Structure 1
Amino acid sequence: MAALGTLSHALKDVVSPAGRLTAARAVVDRVYGPAGGHGKDWRPRPLLDNKSRYLWTDAFGVVNYLTLACETGEQRYLDQAAGLIDAVHDTLGRDRAGKARLGNATVEEPTRGGLRIGKVHGEGHPDGDGQYFHYLTKWAFALNRMSLASGEAKYNRWALQLIEAAHPHFVAGSGSGEPHMWWKISIDMSHPVVHSEGNLDPFDGLVTYRLVQEAAEQPGALRREIADMERMVQNKYRRYRSNDPLDLGEALWLSHWALPEGEAWAQLVAERSSAALDDLWCRGYFRQPEPYRLAFREFGTTLGAQVNPAAGGQWAERVDSLHQFWVQHLFTRDADITPVMFAASLAPGAWARDYTPRLRQLAQRLRGNEQ
């Protein structure tokens, strides 16, 4: 980090484009450790609180590295994305003892048994380990983006295999007119742990499955899985409501992938989520004292508002103000999920649909360097 100075110095400017990029670079180095000349041998430092790895956080970490690779042209960020992916598969793709791989997973196909959440507590605890659908789709998205940026098909193949492994265990009534989902299942995928459906899980599935299918080596590989998600989205989208800043930001992010095609669900979800966020802003939710708020949930808002034009231009200034507020409290609650999502909000590049050509250009440049 010598080139960027101390962390506090790097975080002084979180408004200008150059300052935001500098801050994002400093934050990911603080959380995961700098490359330090290790190249392809680099491995991330364990997260704190005895979690070692945490699937949601590390999905954001991978996508952050891809954005930084595109923005800086530095190979080390792509190497770090690859190292983080391997570390997640080697940790969360195994049982909690770290011995056996989950389900049918192998070294060559590490996602065929799903991936653990990475909770501190074991199964049976109210906040115990297991598998979350919305974490798996975040990871599949990260793998898909890595495949585009690196030009290596194996990453999207792993995303596809993860979906194939998880879908039958999370979706009840597959192929019927009214399938529904479980929010959380056991580590071994043998039974649901939380029988309710996540507010956005079908939308997560639809968007992610489509992206993985587009990059798949086998046309139509996820045809039935996508059909299930389309049915659930059609059955559900007219009832979409939320007052949670992370959920609303995620809704903006998900809907922005389908807005250019004019899909009805995307238009309605974008309208309702942006209106709900405006209402939260006007009612003073985002001006409450720090102890009454959770930074990482608000970074869901700031990320979604930046990638979806439906949020409106008023959010540019609001995003800056939230960044300036939270940079003062960045490591108050934790040293992983909050700063990693902050980095994503500072440099949202690879999270956006219109950034996809940049990822492909990176892969082309890498292939050119190898020739």
Structure 2
Amino acid sequence: MSKPDKITRFTEAMKTVYGPFDQLSPDDAKAWTFPDDPGAGGYHGRYLWTDAFGVVNFITLFKETGNAVYLTLAKRLVQTVHDVLGRTRDGSKRLDGATDEEPLRGGLRIGKMDARGSDGDGQYHHYLTLWMFALNRLSIAADEVQYNDLGIQLARAIHARFMVHCLSGGMKMVWKISMDMKTVLVPSEGHLDAATGYAVYKLLQDTAARQGHREHVLQKEVDDYWDLMVKKRKGSLSPGTDYLDVGMGLWAAHLWKHERWAERFCDRALPVAGELLSSTRMRAEGARLAFREFGTVLGVGCWDVGEGLRARVDGLMAFWERWLDDEAEEELKPISRVMYASGLIVGGEFFLKTFG
């Protein structure tokens, strides 16, 4: 597929989630209202995972086309998410601990449709770190320190809430906490949450230092994640067998791809990704979740791989280009389309080179 064709498909996929934004003038973009039905999915049209990829994808469009409207839309989407998911579900106030001056001190809601229950609203560590990454990329793309500072604000606000001191004297992480961050809702640990925390928090800290702003601003938090991911649970750096888990693990590792832990993870995870991408040929489309498979595509796209693995990625993308419109679950269409776009043109890596 040619680059212009990829950009066209990328843009069309994003438009199904964020509306007909490709013809906006610079002034129109500053006031653009993102659709909320379905929008990014979730409650009132916002879903943190989808919108984090949305921000990075708008930055990618800016990089690929040179059109500053897309950078404006990335900023607009950030503000929209902070105004919706940074508030209570009724929108009446900011989340506990947050203020208009410090809007992320209360974290960010997931955006689940239900307020409570097994799949109810709350806060996920892996969604929050993805949002921090999006803020970091926007800070570099726009050359505006404030966005990385917002990422640091969020990082500091949530860190202690996801860390639990064990009776043995050590620490563990929890998977999900309540909207007000006061209650643990799921006490198990996310497979690679500590590694992702290390990678993203260190990225925020490194960016702050390179912007001449602050040194070692998140060092304690980075040390906590390192202690969890390497010193106490070496096995946690082994890839799982889930499409999204393997893909996002490869994505997190590529942020520090020259560190030994990341190289080792890549060596283990890329063969697993190859097996997963081969096994999709034997599965019916109705039994597959597009967005999870696009996670593998994204992760592989962050690394230099051989022609064989690249051909498997291309085959999977070609499969979903035939079937994506027929996805049975309406609520999954926004996340699938945004991640499809991310798989077509892997974003974020261009701006990593700014600090190379």
| Same structural fold, with TM-score higher than 0.5 when normalized by the shorter chain | yes
Distance, in Å, in 2 between the alignment partners of 1:339 and 1:249 is 17
Aligned match of 1:164: 156
The one of 309, 315, 323 equivalent to 1:315 is: 309
Work out whether residues 178 and 231 of structure 1, in 8 Å CA contact, stay in contact via their aligned partners in 2: no
CA drift of 1:270 comes to: 1.2
CA drift of 1:131 comes to: 0.1
Aligned match of 2:287: 292
Aligned match of 2:343: 345
Aligned match of 1:141: 133
Aligned match of 1:20: 6
Work out whether residues 93 and 114 of structure 1, in 8 Å CA contact, stay in contact via their aligned partners in 2: yes
Aligned length: 338
Distance, in Å, in 1 between the alignment partners of 2:283 and 2:228 is 36
Work out whether residues 182 and 196 of structure 1, in 8 Å CA contact, stay in contact via their aligned partners in 2: yes
Q: Aligned runs of 1:65-214 on 2, under 5 Å? A: 65-123=58-116, 125-173=117-165, 178-214=170-206
Aligned match of 1:219: 215
Distance, in Å, in 1 between the alignment partners of 2:234 and 2:275 is 20
The one of 267, 273, 277 equivalent to 1:271 is: 267
Work out whether residues 177 and 231 of structure 1, in 8 Å CA contact, stay in contact via their aligned partners in 2: no
The one of 309, 318, 328 equivalent to 1:324 is: 318
Work out whether residues 43 and 80 of structure 1, in 8 Å CA contact, stay in contact via their aligned partners in 2: no
Aligned match of 1:236: 233
Asked if 1:61 corresponds to 2:63, the answer is no
Read off the aligned partner of 2:234 and give its amino acid letter.
Y
Distance, in Å, in 1 between the alignment partners of 2:217 and 2:271 is 37
Aligned match of 1:369: none
Distance, in Å, in 2 between the alignment partners of 1:94 and 1:296 is 27
1:165 is paired with a residue whose SS is helix
The one of 32, 36, 41 equivalent to 2:31 is: 41
CA drift of 1:355 comes to: 4.1
| Mean CA deviation greater in 156-165 or 20-29 | 20-29
CA drift of 1:314 comes to: 1.9
Work out whether residues 50 and 334 of structure 2, in 8 Å CA contact, stay in contact via their aligned partners in 1: yes
Read off the aligned partner of 2:345 and give its amino acid letter.
A
Distance, in Å, in 2 between the alignment partners of 1:312 and 1:116 is 39
Aligned match of 1:31: 17
CA drift of 1:321 comes to: 1.2
Q: Per the alignment, do residues 315 and 16 of structure 1 end up closer, same or farther by CA in structure 2, a change over 3 Å counting?
A: farther
2:333 is paired with a residue whose SS is coil
Q: Per the alignment, do residues 347 and 192 of structure 1 end up closer, same or farther by CA in structure 2, a change over 3 Å counting?
A: same
CA drift of 1:50 comes to: 5.5
| 1:135-187 superposed Cα distances (whole Å, 9 cap, x missing partner) | 0000000000000001111111110000100001001239x973210000000
Aligned match of 1:3: none
Distance, in Å, in 2 between the alignment partners of 1:305 and 1:321 is 13
Q: Per the alignment, do residues 279 and 27 of structure 1 end up closer, same or farther by CA in structure 2, a change over 3 Å counting?
A: closer
Any unmatched runs of 5+ in structure 1? 1-14, 361-371
| 1:256-290 superposed Cα distances (whole Å, 9 cap, x missing partner) | 222223x2x212221221122223344x2344111
CA drift of 1:74 comes to: 0.3
Work out whether residues 136 and 147 of structure 2, in 8 Å CA contact, stay in contact via their aligned partners in 1: yes
CA drift of 1:107 comes to: 2.1
| Mean CA deviation greater in 341-350 or 327-336 | 327-336
Distance, in Å, in 2 between the alignment partners of 1:127 and 1:269 is 30
Distance, in Å, in 2 between the alignment partners of 1:126 and 1:23 is 36
Distance, in Å, in 1 between the alignment partners of 2:42 and 2:158 is 26
2:159 is paired with a residue whose SS is helix
Q: Aligned runs of 1:237-252 on 2, under 5 Å? A: 237-239=234-236, 240-252=238-250
Work out whether residues 178 and 232 of structure 1, in 8 Å CA contact, stay in contact via their aligned partners in 2: no
| Mean CA deviation greater in 56-65 or 97-106 | 97-106
Work out whether residues 162 and 175 of structure 2, in 8 Å CA contact, stay in contact via their aligned partners in 1: yes
Distance, in Å, in 2 between the alignment partners of 1:307 and 1:30 is 25
> What is the TM-score with the length of structure 1 in the denominator?
0.86
Work out whether residues 239 and 249 of structure 2, in 8 Å CA contact, stay in contact via their aligned partners in 1: no
CA drift of 1:55 comes to: 0.2
Distance, in Å, in 2 between the alignment partners of 1:191 and 1:70 is 41
Read off the aligned partner of 2:18 and give its amino acid letter.
Y
Percentage of identical aligned residues: 41
> What is the TM-score with the length of structure 2 in the denominator?
0.90
Q: Report runs of 4+ in structure 1 exceeding 6 Å deviation.
A: none
